[in-house]
Chains A and B, each alone.
Chain A
Amino acid sequence: MSNLLSVKDLQVTFVTPDRTIHAVNGVSFDVKRGETLGILGESGSGKSVTLRSILKLHPAHRTKWSGSITLEGDEILTMGGRDLANLRGNRVSMIFQEPATAFDPVFTIGQQISETVRRHTGKSDADAMKRAKDLLEMVRIPSPAQRLKAYPHEMSGGMRQRAMIALALSCNPSLLLADEPTTALDATVQIQVLLLIRELQRELDLGVIFVTHDIGVAVEVSDRIGVMYAGKLVELAGVEQMVDTPKHPYSRGLLASTVHDGMRGQRLEAIPGAPPDLGEVPTACSFAPRCKFVEPKCLSAPPPLAPVGDSHLVRCVVAAA
């Protein structure tokens, strides 16, 4: 099966008059249709920056992109203006972390979904509103006809996130980007929203990139998981491989720091230290200062992403050896 999205050696730097931040330093991955790639990482690891770069959502005057992002063969990074706007929300759409702030507070849900439909399909007002109603029904919002007229603040968090999903799916995208879509929700609502995304993804044969810092969520929704650290993918593997045999010391640390059955009374393992400053291009393994298994060769050059098994990649000279 051919790739839906292909990201190659993506680098993102933010340039402000005061400093330069190397937020993403050479990330490569592919996503196929009907596949969910989970991207796991802590705050500042570059996971959201990577995701938003797929739609070039960063302010153009402060952001430098290099590498390549292709969707069904079309290069996105060189797109601009009308081409980019035609892609956004149409072929690739996005669900945001905080639906309370991602909807415009002074327009109704119906207006906001239907304007997207009109923008990309050229449907009439009435047809677009009809489509919006069908979408709300699809994400299982009760009494959708009334909810069309509701303002974002009149809905609960879970309902808003469903509406956000409806909005994202309004123009039949082939790729759905989810930026921590369940982080702002209650635990019970989280599961409902996750199940909904999973189900719609299968139904509509979507490619999904799901960014989260929650390991449980990543394992629940993903087919493959990529772990990001300091602007790089440090490990990329199928979900079982990642859970059963994590190779990178950072992934192992992350998985060890979760709570599961039979751990009562034990001390939780934490990763000592803090992530590095992204102001400089790394000249060694970025994780080395926090790593228990550090060796002299870790500090000589940034390690490559090397295969350690069947479609299992790891950026660690110690683990790959």
Chain B
Amino acid sequence: MILYGLRRLIYLVPVAFGVSLLVFALVHLAPGDAISAIVPPDAPQEVVEKLRAYYGFDKPLPVQYFRWLVVTLSGDFGTSIGTGRPVSEEVGGAFLNTIVLAISACLVAFSLAIFLGTAAGYAKSRIVDRLVTSIALTGISVPNYWLAIVLVIIFSVELGWLPPMGLGPESATGWKLDFAHLRYMVLPTIALSMIPLGVMTRTVRSTIKEILNSEFVTALQAKGMNDRQILFHVLKNAAPTCLAVMGLQAGNLIGGSILIETVFSWPGTGFLLNSAIFRRDLPILQGTTLVLSFFFMMLNLTVDMIQTVVDPRIKRG
């Protein structure tokens, strides 16, 4: 088990390497560069050349990549071209904000999905089942950025109940656990939880339905187990499948909240990535992507490890 974990950790290295290479290549495929984005259009040519040399953009691409890689491996992610602050600081702060939002969206989505999905899986009446299925389908189908804008219009603009943007009062950039900050989280959390809610509800529902049809559930009834005891058996059987989907969904929330963070001006990694793309801020782009992909890989690894604990049929070693 521990050996398996270690081996999986080592496997992450080439994947991370590949990801960084891909990110680097993608950024350079796009037209325009960072220098032309920060200097005024009428800047003299020699200033531009000087800046280019200062940031190392005059070197051939492979050299640029390896320089970046070596420096990054030594723990230095470089400085942002846009703000001049260290990338690690920018990304670190944004990452924490994203994690906070992702965790709250996961908590809402997963707890609701387990409840709704189990209810629908058990439902003998078609009405309950159809109702839950349509909620799930709505969650998946409605574009979450559109929902975000609608939520802002209703609850911020019209009713004035909740703040429309930012993560705290007085344009705070760091998150704190208090009532004032929590108010700012409500709308982004709702908007962000819609897709995972829909996906998970469907997964839980179909998994539970399938398990309820298995012979061992009849066998459990035949030995006199009550409904609560049988539910426990059913949930433990459903756990491996649901955990796998949960892991993927949680990963998506962390990497894929660019739209939501932009709508709500939530200073997380999605927001950061978005502005970095516009500014061609290569160090930030690479730093953020690397952190996100590493987190994604760790998340998948964690899910795999939990699965081996829950499901004895998965043998790894």
| A: number of interface residues (CB 8 Å) | 30
CB atoms of A106 and B311 under 8 A apart: yes
CA distance A177 to B222 in the complex (A): 10
**Hey, which chain B residues are within 8 Å of A42, CB to CB?**
none
Interface residues in A201-254 by Cβ distance below 8 A to B read: none
Given A96-B219, A119-B229, A153-B313, are A104 and B237 also a contact pair (CB < 8 Å)?
Answer: yes
Additional A-B contacts beyond A55-B221, A101-B215, A104-B219 (16; CB < 8 A): A87-B224, A89-B223, A90-B224, A93-B222, A93-B223, A94-B222, A96-B222, A102-B216, A102-B219, A104-B220, A105-B237, A106-B311, A107-B233, A116-B223, A151-B313, A168-B223
CA distance A103 to B217 in the complex (A): 9
CA distance A108 to B124 in the complex (A): 30
CB atoms of A151 and B312 under 8 A apart: yes
**Hey, which chain A residues are within 8 Å of B214, CB to CB?**
101
- Asked if A115 CB lies within 8 Å of chain B CBs, one says yes
CA distance A62 to B222 in the complex (A): 18
Q: CB < 8 Å: which of B219, B225, B237, B313 contacts A85?
A: B225
CB atoms of A102 and B215 under 8 A apart: yes
CB atoms of B215 and A96 under 8 A apart: yes
Interface residues in A71-103 by Cβ distance below 8 A to B read: 82, 85-90, 93-94, 96, 98, 101-103
Tell me the minimal C-beta distance from B136 to chain A in angstroms: 24
- Asked if A57 CB lies within 8 Å of chain B CBs, one says yes
Tell me the minimal C-beta distance from B260 to chain A in angstroms: 36
Q: Considering only CB atoms, which chain A residue lies closest to B311 in the complex?
A: A106
CA distance A167 to B233 in the complex (A): 17
CB atoms of B224 and A119 under 8 A apart: yes
Show the binding face of A for B, using Cβ within 8 Å: 55, 57, 61, 82, 85-90, 93-94, 96, 98, 101-108, 115-116, 119-120, 151, 153, 167-168
CB atoms of A85 and B222 under 8 A apart: no
- Asked if B259 CB lies within 8 Å of chain A CBs, one says no
- Determine the main DSSP class of B at the interface with A: helix
CB atoms of B216 and A101 under 8 A apart: yes
- Asked if B171 CB lies within 8 Å of chain A CBs, one says no
**Hey, which chain A residues are within 8 Å of B229, CB to CB?**
115, 119
| B: number of interface residues (CB 8 Å) | 21
Contact with A along B200-236 (1 / 0, CB 8 A): 0000000000000011101111111110010001001
CA distance A93 to B222 in the complex (A): 7
Tell me the minimal C-beta distance from A92 to chain B in angstroms: 9
CA distance A167 to B220 in the complex (A): 11
CB atoms of B312 and A106 under 8 A apart: yes
**Hey, which chain A residues are within 8 Å of B220, CB to CB?**
104
- Asked if B310 CB lies within 8 Å of chain A CBs, one says yes
Tell me the minimal C-beta distance from A82 to chain B in angstroms: 8
Q: CB < 8 Å: which of B124, B224, B310, B311 contacts A89?
A: B224
Tell me the minimal C-beta distance from B2 to chain A in angstroms: 20
**Hey, which chain A residues are within 8 Å of B222, CB to CB?**
55, 57, 88-89, 93-94, 96
CB atoms of B221 and A88 under 8 A apart: yes
Tell me the minimal C-beta distance from A96 to chain B in angstroms: 6
**Hey, which chain B residues are within 8 Å of A96, CB to CB?**
215, 218-219, 222
**Hey, which chain B residues are within 8 Å of A101, CB to CB?**
214-216
**Hey, which chain A residues are within 8 Å of B311, CB to CB?**
105-106
CA distance A285 to B294 in the complex (A): 73
**Hey, which chain A residues are within 8 Å of B237, CB to CB?**
104-106
Tell me the minimal C-beta distance from A161 to chain B in angstroms: 13
CA distance A95 to B211 in the complex (A): 20
Q: CB < 8 Å: which of B216, B221, B225, B310 contacts A57?
A: B221
CA distance A232 to B45 in the complex (A): 99
CA distance A199 to B25 in the complex (A): 74
**Hey, which chain A residues are within 8 Å of B226, CB to CB?**
82, 85
The 23 listed contacts between A and B (C-beta, < 8 Å) are A57-B218, A85-B224, A86-B224, A88-B224, A89-B223, A89-B224, A96-B215, A96-B218, A101-B214, A101-B215, A103-B219, A104-B219, A104-B236, A106-B310, A106-B311, A106-B313, A107-B233, A115-B225, A116-B225, A119-B223, A119-B224, A120-B224, A167-B223
Given A103-B216, A106-B236, A106-B237, are A119 and B312 also a contact pair (CB < 8 Å)?
Answer: no
CA distance A57 to B218 in the complex (A): 7
CA distance A20 to B1 in the complex (A): 52
CA distance A98 to B229 in the complex (A): 22
